[in-house]
Amino acid sequence: MEISDPLTFLSLLLVVVALFSSLYIIPSRRSDGRRRRLPPSPPSLPVIGHLHLLSAMPHHSLAALSARLGAPLLYLRLGRVPAAVVCSPALARAALTAADAALASRPDLLSARVLSFGRSDVTFAPAGPYHRQARRIVVSELLSPRRVASYRPIRLQEIRRLLSAVAASEGAPIDMSARLFGLANDVLCRVAFGRRFGGGGGGGGERLVEVLTEAQALFAGFTVGDFFPEIEWAVSAATGLRWRMNRCLAGLRAVCDEIIADHKGEGGAAARDGYSQEDFVDVLLRVQRSPELEVPITDDNLKALVLDMFVAGTDTSFATLEWVMTELAKHPNTMRKAQEEVRRIVGNKGRVEEGDLQQLNYMRAVVKETFRLHPPVPLLVPRESVEKCTLGGYDIPAKTRVFINTYAIGRDPQVWENPLDFSPERFRNTDIDLKGQDFELLPFGGGRRGCPGYSFALATIENALSSLLYHFDWELPPGVGADDVDMTEIFGLATRKKEPLILIAKTHEGYEFKETN
């Protein structure tokens, strides 16, 4: 969700207020006559509530607001939408354990309703039988440990393409943001659809690039209707947003219909991609025919599920790789420690193998530290309460939108020593993992709506990072110091760098990348 132009957003909001304010009667916080104990809330404005407190980086402004009020739990009114913001590990634990069932649903957002084929993906499906079945299919069929391991040939092939491109540009400035984006998308596209993201030799790849890129951009956008549901139809029509979404949906449907028809035809995965492992579409088509399904899976449901895996997975892997390489470039001593570990463990084998990753403890600490400072989804995907519950002794009414601010938690001085410092050493003697059980570090969320793809994302991130560190030494371009690196963020599906990361790679003597490795 991205507010790409705050002035435009606020201008449109003022128009909405002027045109439609007569529709609203500000609801009392005592809808049933009982006095509720709501979390701390700053003063609000008529109609827009607390929307004026959100910046283009809402995780920043909400973290600052929590610190200013000394309140790890906030209650806000975002237009017509009641919202709670969690900013501490203890409250995150409560939200993802004791209150997990009460907070099991998702808000009904326009982008999800249109582009996820009626919210039939895993990420935005409302709580209920369909979501339980869809998540079970993703966890057991698409992203099980065995299935993730089976995608190893695709990961290695695409990482080798990345290494080859870096080697070809040795000594010259390289746009690593573009290279890492291509890697993440190509891996996911081949695993999901059996096609490379870049297309290359035709086969619809270019059209696939176009519609998926547009879908990612539309998913990332805040809409006024998300905060004023009663007039969503008017706002989305007036701004042309619904027209853009419907056009994108038509493109997604056409491309997916072609891919599904290809998968249903003769040839199979090996004929399509030179690789015999089932991709996501193959698996879902097989599951679709199962007589044991609790809820039938339509072709549109299938499209929503596979697109969900692609959209959610690519931005997370890309943004994390971009941030970790940025932090290492800014901290060359940390970079050297990570390189020394990789080269010591891998030795003269000539390439990193997946079996080596378990021994790369310092590199894994680097990844965790990157997740702490740069969580890919800093407010997680918002939840919605299906019934009233309590958090930290406060009442959370039903139909409240709940955000968990992992950015605030990761930089909380009460949780972390010197929280603004990039220091992987803080993770060396801890057993904190990334599976959603340690609530001070939640890059993939937790509970029943936690991201099911964390192991897949980590496999791509760790394989790519270790190979880049093994084969190459990295430095910033001439004249660019560590303090000159622009760390400005773009808030979207995943929070990434605003400016591309430009680095220079030099082959480390004795560790050259060879196409025959």
The neighbour count for residue 506, using CB atoms within 10 Å, is 11
Q: How far apart are the first and last CA of the chain?
A: 41
Contact partners, residue 246, CB within 8 Å, separation at least 6: 114
- Residue whose entry in the numeric block shows the structure tokens 């599976």: 435
Name, in order, each residue with C-beta under 8 angstroms of 482's C-beta and a sequence gap of 6 or more.
329, 330, 331, 332, 476
Which residue in 441, 489, 414, 452 sits closest to 139, CA to CA? Answer: 452
**154 half-sphere exposure, CB direction, 13 A CA radius:** 32
Q: Do the strands 401-404 and 81-86 form a parallel or antiparallel pair, or are they unpaired? A: parallel
Query: 353 and 472 in contact (C-beta within 8 Å)?
Result: no
Helix segments in 107-240, DSSP class H? 110-115, 129-137, 145-150, 152-168, 176-193, 205-219, 232-239
d(CA 148, CA 161): 20
Query: What residue type is 172 in one-letter code?
Result: A
What's the burial of 342, exposed, middle or buried (CB within 10 Å: 0-12/13-18/19+)? buried
Check the annotation: does 87 bind a ligand: no
**Beta bridge pairs of residue 453:** none
The bridge status of strand 502-507 relative to strand 389-391 is unpaired
Return binding residues.
451
Return binding residues for heme.
451
